[in-house]
Structure formats: structure tokens, C-alpha cells
Amino acid sequence: MELAKAAGADDVWAVAQQSRNVQFAFRDGSLETVKDNTSRVLAIQIYAGDRYSSSQTTDLNPSRLAQFIREAVATARALEPDPFRKITPPNLFAERSKVDLDLVDPAVGELTRERRLSWCGSLDAAVRNHKQMISATSRVSDGTSWSAWASSNGFEHTRETTSIWLSASLTLRDRGDKRVSGGFGAGGQHVATLPPTDEIAQMALDFAHARLGSDKGPTTTTTMVVDARVAGQLVGRRLLAAARASQIQQGRSFWSDLLGKPAFSPVLTIVDNPLIPRGLASRHYDNEGISSKVLPIIEEGVVRNIYVDTYYGRKTKMAPTTGSSSNVTVKLWSKSLQDLVSDAGTGIYVTGWLGGNADTTTGDFSFGLQGHLIEGGKIGAPVSEMNVTGNLKDLFNKLALVGNDPYPYARTITPSLLFSDVVFSGA
Amino acid sequence: MATNRRIFLSNAAAGTALLTMPAFLSGCGVDLATSVGTATPANPFLEWFGVDEALLARVMSELTANGADTAELYFQHTRTTNLRMEDSLVNRANTNIQQGVGLRVVVGDQTGYAFSEDLTLPSMLAAARTAATIAKSGKVTAPQSFNPLGAGDLYTIRVPWTEVGIDQKLPLLRQVDKLARSSDPSIKKVSVGWMDSDDRVLIATLDGQLIVDHRPMTRLSALVTASRNGASQSGSANIAARNDFDWYTTERMTEMVKLAVARTMIQFDAVRPPAGEMPVILAAGPSGILLHEAIGHGMEADFNRKGRSIYSDMMGKKVAEPFVTVVDQGTLAGNRGALNYDDEGNACGRTVMVEDGILRSYLHDTISARQYDVPVTGSGRRQSYKFEPMPRMTCTFMEDGPHTKDEIIAAVEHGIIAETYTNGQVRIGEGDYTFYVKNGWLIEKGKVTAPIRDVNIIGNGPESLRRITMVANDAYMDTGGWTCGKNGQSVPVSLGMPSVLVSKMTVGGQNVS
């Protein structure tokens, strides 16, 4: 920061980060890959007379840092002034939650090669248990990340997280030249919370096995039940993508007039909660240093808040909330997945997406999918090569039932969801 | 996520991914940290990375101490600049320096990998030792010196990007912004994205070769939003190349803006087509996305040597009509997907995946080439020094066929023609793939009628190839900025295509009852 001020910056925000990541993978009975890497980066944001630039470097050689910083300041000064660009004001980071987020497990840093080999070996032995097995990969990936944050206007904090994941993916022979694939992974920050390798292997096997013999699904308008494991993408990545002041300010959001309105189904409640202990996206502050708060996005269908960072907050005259999502949670109701399927009677049960996109300006979407027929209130034959098409605002108004089975291994934690009158294209 | 190893292709407008590097400003008298001139220096080790050959021989020796079939030291220094103009003001200027060395040792099909961003001997030796733990025992003679291979000539670098100041780039952004805003009174918002990068790669291999590649990349995008009668529509276009600043002619930028505006305005009238199976015409150029998803990934040899791809047992078989030839070629000068050498240090070339309808060759890296006992195809690529290489595509296209575009359109009773795409994805075992059509047209009784929008198309790779019933003579390489993702690594690629007819695909439309 001293260097930046010496070079002519008025304000500086700096983050230094170091991460170690280790990956071991077994394939079909033998060790296939060993990777062990430590990475460092310095990221700085320069505010110089209403002008702004940001820079990162992995070249931390002290003899070159001064120059790197000088160049960052010079870049900012070469731009036109932007009156909306200011360093995060201290009132946004003055008070911070002291909840222990429990994001560090010292046991991760002490993992040995032997332990990792043993996990991979167990997973591998358990997952290669299928007469149509072609190939299976079992992985353990663990890491530690540490960062230091400081700003010229008084922000000062360090952050540390550990992570450990076990996963298995496999390919089975189907009919003719076709294969089916499936996988499952579990993890978090703590070694002790890992499910047993047998369980992970069985989940992976079950998911792949369920795909055998799939046919093209039908073209139809019917009920859609989305499995908890993939509902998170629909909510976190698609629905909420346009719930941002940045998109609204640029005229590119179908959420633009929805604040305060009952825009979605009354069974939908979504809360962004950065303060969940052991949450995969938990944090005490966001990338701008704004102290974390629980943020209701939608309450019983009514839009309460959107994602507003400080820059677009100034442009839109909206109070900043946070510019980035954390743990996005969908409120649970009481029905199980089986209940939803039974209530549907007839429909499509979605277990995977394949490509597709959504237009944030209009909310129009079209996604590829795979899943199963729902017939007689039960999960039936596997289907694939289908699309689902519609409009996101319309779709989430047709959200009729929300389940009780949240999928924990994701940043967006949703249960299974049931939507009515959904348009599918297939054979 | 541990299991999220998706394979995807995207043309997202610049400004989303941030991999940027400090821009060196002209005229401000700053010395470059590691200096780069227009020509490859006589001693790139020393000049680019501050290391010498003897040091590298030591690292290679440590890396291969337990044995090796393949090994390399991959040095990389990349400087990337990203700029964004919104509301006629540059509100983001991000620069990024990434420097490091990736150390890989391979024994059979086992890989040990470690990288170091600290280019001192102790750090590199520590990383080498870590990578070497993949191997048990074995002896190999590590090279003591490295023989430089000739530099390639596929890219145009009159002035490297590190010497182009921000003061030169800003006028281009303003020009694009002004052009877009003045194109139509209903245009309310324009966002212009700029990216340039200067990438220096130096690879020292186990067999004593030294490969040097100085790779430029640039990309310009325009995202436009228009409003009419209370409704808004957005559209975009982007262009990219391995070229320098002079590549941005007024003509090129004007064409790009015209495309972004046209794509936006047509959406006010565009509808969803009917849902279900129908013939689909893919217009020339970016429709190469069909090849990338339907066959390209499925032909990457790492999938096939593991038996995972639907194409694993199809080599030598007929997969398409005799007028279908599909090629992956890294030597298309100036293209985004072009490379002089791949990231294992093998020269890129031209790999014919499908020749006159017959499946001919996978895309090989060193590991698979050895297993199949075939020559490498220069397809070993990596996102950066942080990753190990694997088979990837470069510039993927289909060659001209015997028909014309007019003939193809006339042949369709009820179907669609797809023109603009945003992204695609594939499951290589099932062979199921999709691509998202942003703009296109309905075809009724052999005539183009109404504009369509926002449909995902899904098909099965081998089935779609079989169903290519007509191929026109109008192939060209798209200049869009495509990025391919596989197993957590992104690389830039190019696509090309003639207009083709696929007799049946599943169109994600909406049937109005």
C-alpha cells in the first residue's frame, strides 16, 4: 500500500493469497495422477483521483513489485474519471459478525500421501463393482487457502479455509457403442464429515446405473420434478443471474421492476446466507469487504432484495447489499422427493442438465436435460435427448411444490422442486 | 465441485472471466520486468525467465530421477489486459501477470505434476521432487543441453501487446461504442469489452528439445440492449484472433457492431419455433459448434484410450456420408485456436478426424499416441503452467461439400436454419450434445420465413453425423472468441463450417396449443 501511495494512488485495496492444492486420482485399479501445487497471487485495486484500475500478479519477486504497482497506478491515471468508483466506505465494514464459521480443519494440512492413496484405493475398489464397467476414476482433492486483506482506509483481515473432496466417476457400457456415465462427490472443509468411501462409490454407481437403456423422451407439456442435486443450477445459476444491480443498470435484467412485488410462486423463499458454519460459500465479508449479512432474496414469492455491489449501488441509487452470492438456500417444505413424484402422477423427473442458456434480459430459457419418465406416480424409464423451454419468471410462478431433501454439496442448497405445465421437446 | 467436470464451449462476452495482466503504457518510461522484443531472443531462458540451461538440466534430472517416458518443463509468462466500457466510460481496467513453471513427468499413463511460481532453483527442485513421486523406480538419462527448434510463424506480431499503451486502445473502444449507439434510436445501452494478451511459452523436453512460442491473443466484443414499447432485447457479437493491434481495422469493427445490432433488433420479432424433431440447417461459419460437440470431444484420445467415448470402437468405420470430412488443424494462421507448437512441445498440424465419411484419427497427446502406437497430432494443450496437458481441439472445421446453400434451404419442408450460437455441451459416453441457438429462422416449404430465437438443440453425435444429408460449398472459419472447457481447464479454440442439413434434430421450441 505504501508503494501504491508513493506512486500516486489515493486509496488502495490489496489482497495477498496463497493456496495449496493436492490431487490424487486412481483409474481402474492403479494410481493415475499425483498433483501437488502451491500458488500465490497479489491483487490490488487502485483508486487515484476518481480513476480506478485493478491488477493481479503471481510474480512476487520483490524487485519487480514496485514496478507492478507503479504500472497499476499509471493505468488508472490514464482513464477518464468515474465518479461512481470509490473504495469501500468504512461504514460497510465497521461491524462484522463474530460467528465462528468453522472453515478450517488442521487435519487437512496433516494429510499424508498414504492416507490419500488409501482413500483412492478404497473408492476405486468399491466403485468398480458393475458387470458393465468400462472405466472408473476415483479422486481425492484437498487444499488449504490463506489470504490477507488490507486497505488504505482501515480494512484489515485474514481468511483461511481448508477443503477436502472425494469423488468417483464411472462409465458403463450401454447398448451398441453407447456408454452411460455418472458420478458423485462429497466434501467440505472437514475430514471428519466425509461420508464413507463405500457410500460415495454406491451413489456414483447408482447414478450411472440408472441411465442404462435410456431412450429419447417425448415432446409434451407436463409436470417437471427437478432433483435436488441439479435444482441448484436452476435457482442459483439461472434464476438469480439477473437479480443484480449491475444487470438492471445495464438494462439487461427481467428482474428490473420486481423489487417489492409478488413476482414468483408463494412457495418460493430464497435466502442468501454467508454465515452458515461450514457452508461451502461462507465468509465474514465479501470481495469488497462488506460485512456479511443474511440476505432474504425472495420471501414467499415476494422479491425482497437483489445483489447490489457498491459501484452499481451508486449508479442505481440502491443501498449496497453484496455484489456476489454466497450460500443460496431455498426454504424447505415437508414433502419428500417420492411425495413430489407421486403428486405429479405423470411427468418428467430431471436428474441432469446438458447445456442450454437463458437470456437475462427477457428470462427466456432453453436447456438440454436427461432424466426419467414419471408414470403412475413413480419414477420410470430413463430418458434423454430432451430440452425444456420457457421463461424463468413464468417457470418460477409455476413452482407448485418444494421438497424437504436439500442437497448439501453445493453453494446453492435446494431441495427437489415440482413445476406445472412445463414444455418439453423430444422425439 | 469435485464431480463437476463438465465439457463445454462458450462464446460469453468478455468481461466475465478475469485473467488479466498489467498493461505497459507507452511513453511512461517504465522498464518491463521481463523484457520482450519483437523477435525471440537468442537466449529466451535468460531473457524471459531469468534462468539458465544448466539450471534446467538439474531440474529435469530431479524430475525424472525415478524414471520417465515423457517429461517437460513448461515455463510461461502471460500478461493479459481486460477493459470494459459501459455508459461510454471505461469502468474496468484489469491487468494480470501469471508467471510460473509446470513440471510434468509421465510413466506409462501415470502423471506426476507440480508447478512453481518462484523460479529459483530450490523451489523448482522441490516441485520436481513432488511430481517425481508418481514414479517408483527407473532410470532415464536426462538431457544436459536443449536444442532449440525453429520458431513458428502462425501469428502476426508487429508490435507485441506489452508495448501497446492503453492510450492506443481507448479510441477503439470509443469508436465501437459510438458506432453501436448511433445504429438505432432504440439502443439504450452498449457495453464494449476488450482483451489482449502476450503469452510467452518455453518448453524444455526430456528428449532435449527446446520449444519457444510467443503467442498473442486479442478479442473485442459489443453487447447491445435496445428498448421498444416497454420491451427490451439484448444481443452481442465478438471477434478474436492471434494478431496484433493493427488487426482492428475500421471495417472489421464496423462489421462486428452491425452484427451485434442486427442480432438485437431481430429479436423483437423473433419467436420460438415448434418443439420436437425436425430438419435443421446449420448456416456456415460458427455452426462448427456442431462438430466441436458432436464429434470433436468424443475424438479426444484420452477418452478413447479409457474406452469412455461413444467413438471408442468406431475407428475405421463409416460414420457419415462420403462428402463429409472433418478436420482439426492447429496451423490455420492467425486463428484464435492456432498454435505453432502444442503445450507438450509437439508441432501442430492437420488431423483428419473423419475422411470422406470414415473415422480416421483421434486427437492424440503423447500418452495416447504411445498407447495407440501412432504419431502425436500436436493436440496436447493446457490452460496454463498450472495444469497438465491433455488432448484438446484447436481449429475444428468441415470441408466444403457438393451442394449449395440455396439447394439446402429449398430441400426443407418444415424446419429451421440456425445462425447464431452462444454455447454448447456434450456427454461423450452417451454421445448426447447440445448447442444453444440465439438467432435463426423458420423454414417452411423450402423458404426462409420468420425469425426464431433462444432454443436449445439436442442431438446424439454419431446419429447427427449420419444424418448430415447435404453439405454446401461455402465453408469459412468463424472469427468469434470461442473458449472450450474440459475437466476444469479452458483453452481458446476456433470453429468453421459450410452450410449443412441435418435431417433430424430435437429442437427445444414451444408448441402453441
pLDDT computed for residue B9 by the predictor: 84
Give the separation between CA B86 and CA B199, rounded to whole angstroms.
Answer: 27
State the 10-residue block means of pLDDT for chain A, 427 residues long.
Answer: 85 96 96 96 95 95 90 94 96 95 97 97 95 97 97 96 98 96 97 97 97 96 98 97 97 96 98 98 97 98 98 98 98 98 98 96 97 98 97 98 97 98 96
Q: Which three three-digit cell numbers place residue A222?
A: 407436463
Reported as a pLDDT band with limits 50, 70 and 90, residue B12 is low
pLDDT computed for residue B43 by the predictor: 67
Chains A, B: CB contacts within 8 A come to: 304
Residue-wise pLDDT tens digits, B328-354: 999 999 999 999 999 999 999 999 999
Per the DSSP assignment, residues forming a β-bridge with B106 are B70, B111
Distances (CA, A) of B400 to B285, B358, B360: 12, 16, 18
Q: Is the domain of B122 the same as that of B191?
A: yes
B474 min Cα distance to partner chain A (Å): 27
Is beta strand B447-460 parallel, antiparallel or unpaired with respect to B476-477? unpaired
CB contact under 8 A, B430 and A35: no
Maximum alpha-carbon separation in chain B: 75
Per the DSSP assignment, residues forming a β-bridge with B30 are none
pLDDT computed for residue A64 by the predictor: 87
Residue A245's φ and ψ, nearest 5 degrees, are -60, -35
- The answer to whether the CB of A37 falls within 8 A of the CB of B386 is yes
Local structure of B277: helix, strand or coil? strand
**Residue B30 half-sphere exposure toward CB, CA atoms < 13 A:** 26
Q: Is the domain of B195 the same as that of B280?
A: no
Give the separation between CA A296 and CA A306, rounded to whole angstroms.
Answer: 9
Residues in chain A: 427
Q: Is the domain of B151 the same as that of B244?
A: yes
Q: Is the domain of B138 the same as that of B46?
A: yes
Give the separation between CA B402 and CA B389, rounded to whole angstroms.
Answer: 38
Q: Is residue B2 part of a domain?
A: no
Residue A362 touches partner B, C-beta closer than 8 Å: yes
CB contact under 8 A, B24 and A219: no
| Number of domains chain B is built from | 2
Reported as a pLDDT band with limits 50, 70 and 90, residue B8 is confident
Residue B217's φ and ψ, nearest 5 degrees, are -150, 140
Local structure of A322: helix, strand or coil? coil
Beta strands in B156-244 (DSSP E): 187-205, 209-228, 231-241
**Residue A201 half-sphere exposure toward CB, CA atoms < 13 A:** 18
- The answer to whether the CB of B470 falls within 8 A of the CB of B407 is yes
Is beta strand B89-107 parallel, antiparallel or unpaired with respect to B70-86? antiparallel
Nearest to B508 among A76, A184, A425 (CB): A425
In which residue are the cell numbers 422442486 written?
A417
Residue A407 touches partner B, C-beta closer than 8 Å: no
Terminus-to-terminus CA distance in chain A, angstroms?
Answer: 62
CB contact under 8 A, B233 and A252: no
* B112: DSSP letter: E
pLDDT computed for residue B23 by the predictor: 24
A257 min Cα distance to partner chain B (Å): 12
Distances (CA, A) of A260 to A26, A317, A391: 52, 16, 20
Amino acid sitting at position B287? S
Q: Report the 10 Å Cβ neighbour count for B410.
A: 12
Distances (CA, A) of B347 to B210, B331, B339, B344, B467: 12, 9, 8, 9, 34
Residue A114 touches partner B, C-beta closer than 8 Å: no
Residue A171 touches partner B, C-beta closer than 8 Å: yes
| B456 vs A contacts (CB less than 8 Å) | 355-357, 366-368, 387, 389
B-interface mutation test, from A23, A47, A56, A181, most B Cβ less than 10 A away: A56
Closest residue in B to A221 (Cα–Cα):
B511
- The answer to whether the CB of B105 falls within 8 A of the CB of B63 is yes
Interface confidence (ipTM) of the complex: 0.95
| B191 vs A contacts (CB less than 8 Å) | 250
B-interface mutation test, from A361, A384, A407, A413, most B Cβ less than 10 A away: A361
Reported as a pLDDT band with limits 50, 70 and 90, residue B52 is confident
Reported as a pLDDT band with limits 50, 70 and 90, residue B45 is low
Reported as a pLDDT band with limits 50, 70 and 90, residue B42 is low
Q: Is the domain of B351 the same as that of B493?
A: yes
Burial of A206 from C-beta contacts in 10 A (0-12 / 13-18 / 19+) = exposed
Give the separation between CA B162 and CA B31, rounded to whole angstroms.
Answer: 11
- Residue A52's contacts (CB-CB under 8 Å, 6 or more residues apart) are A45, A46, A76, A79, A82, A85, B91, B92, B93
Give the separation between CA B343 and CA B62, rounded to whole angstroms.
Answer: 21
Helical (H) or strand (E) element with B153:
none
Picking from B266, B297, B323, the residue at the C-terminal end of a domain is B266
Is the pLDDT higher at B137 or at B270? B270
Give the separation between CA B508 and CA B276, rounded to whole angstroms.
Answer: 7
pLDDT computed for residue B400 by the predictor: 98
Range scoring the smallest mean pLDDT among A33-42, B19-28, B41-50: B19-28
Q: Report the 10 Å Cβ neighbour count for B158.
A: 10
Q: Is residue B513 part of a domain?
A: no
DSSP for A180-248, written as a single string: EEEEEEEEES-GGGPPPHHHHHHHHHHHHHTTTT-EE---EEEEEEE-HHHHHIIIIIIGGGG-BHHHH
Considering the entire predicted model, what is its pTM?
Answer: 0.94
pLDDT computed for residue B209 by the predictor: 94
Yes or no: is domain A2-209 CATH 3.30.2290.10?
yes
Is beta strand A295-299 parallel, antiparallel or unpaired with respect to A302-303? antiparallel
CB contact under 8 A, A33 and B455: no
Closest residue in B to A142 (Cα–Cα):
B2
CATH classification of the domain holding B235: 3.30.2290.10
Residues in chain B: 513
Nearest to B308 among A60, A179, A354 (CB): A179
Helical (H) or strand (E) element with B53:
helix B53-63
* A409: DSSP letter: S
- The answer to whether the CB of B166 falls within 8 A of the CB of B25 is yes
Give the separation between CA A103 and CA A100, rounded to whole angstroms.
Answer: 8
- The answer to whether the CB of B284 falls within 8 A of the CB of B476 is yes
- Residue B327's contacts (CB-CB under 8 Å, 6 or more residues apart) are B350, B351, B352, B353, B396, B397, B398, B399
Domain coverage including residue B105? 7-266
Give the separation between CA A229 and CA B398, rounded to whole angstroms.
Answer: 38
Give the separation between CA B287 and CA B496, rounded to whole angstroms.
Answer: 7
Reported as a pLDDT band with limits 50, 70 and 90, residue B458 is very high
| A74 vs B contacts (CB less than 8 Å) | 25, 28, 30
Is beta strand B110-116 parallel, antiparallel or unpaired with respect to B89-107? antiparallel
Give the separation between CA B369 and CA A186, rounded to whole angstroms.
Answer: 34
To the nearest whole number, what is the mean pLDDT of chain B?
91
Q: Is residue B427 part of a domain?
A: yes
Q: Which three three-digit cell numbers place residue B508?
A: 427445444
Of the candidates A164, A395, A207, the one whose C-alpha atom is nearest the C-alpha of residue B427 is A207
Q: Is the domain of B47 the same as that of B187?
A: yes
Give the separation between CA A106 and CA A347, rounded to whole angstroms.
Answer: 47
Amino acid sitting at position A152? S
Q: Is the domain of B19 the same as that of B119?
A: yes
Picking from B211, B239, B266, the residue at the C-terminal end of a domain is B266
Per the DSSP assignment, residues forming a β-bridge with A14 are A44, A150
Tell me the mean pLDDT in the region B190-198.
98
| A385 vs B contacts (CB less than 8 Å) | 432, 458-460, 506
Residue B370's φ and ψ, nearest 5 degrees, are -65, -45
Q: Is the domain of B222 the same as that of B307?
A: no
pLDDT computed for residue B18 by the predictor: 20
Q: Is the domain of B231 the same as that of B301?
A: no
Chain centroid to Cα B118, Å, comes to 29
CB contact under 8 A, B386 and A39: yes
DSSP for B249-292, written as a single string: -HHHHHHHHHHHHHHHHHTTT-B----EEEEEEE-TTGGGHHHI
In which residue are the cell numbers 423430444 written?
A426
Residue-wise pLDDT tens digits, B385-404: 999 999 999 999 999 999 99
Q: Is the domain of B357 the same as that of B465?
A: yes
Closest residue in A to B425 (Cα–Cα):
A355
Residue A26 touches partner B, C-beta closer than 8 Å: no
Q: Is the domain of B381 the same as that of B495?
A: yes
Q: Is the domain of B224 the same as that of B330?
A: no
pLDDT at B86 over 90: yes
Q: Which three three-digit cell numbers place residue B222?
A: 459489443
Tell me the mean pLDDT in the region B101-106.
97
* B382: DSSP letter: -
pLDDT computed for residue B47 by the predictor: 73
Q: Is residue B156 part of a domain?
A: yes
Terminus-to-terminus CA distance in chain B, angstroms?
Answer: 41
Nearest to A389 among B426, B432, B455 (CB): B455
Helices (H) and strands (E) in chain B, counts: 10, 23
Going from N- to C-terminal start, the domains of chain A cover: 2-209, 214-427
Give the separation between CA A343 and CA A376, rounded to whole angstroms.
Answer: 10
* Per-residue H/E/C for B77-89: EEEEEEEEEECCE
Residue-wise pLDDT tens digits, B288-300: 999 999 999 999 9
pLDDT computed for residue B25 by the predictor: 21
| B225 vs A contacts (CB less than 8 Å) | 250-252, 361
Handedness of CA B429, B319, B494, B306 (dihedral sign): positive
In which residue are the cell numbers 540451461 written?
B53
Picking from B236, B266, B296, the residue at the C-terminal end of a domain is B266
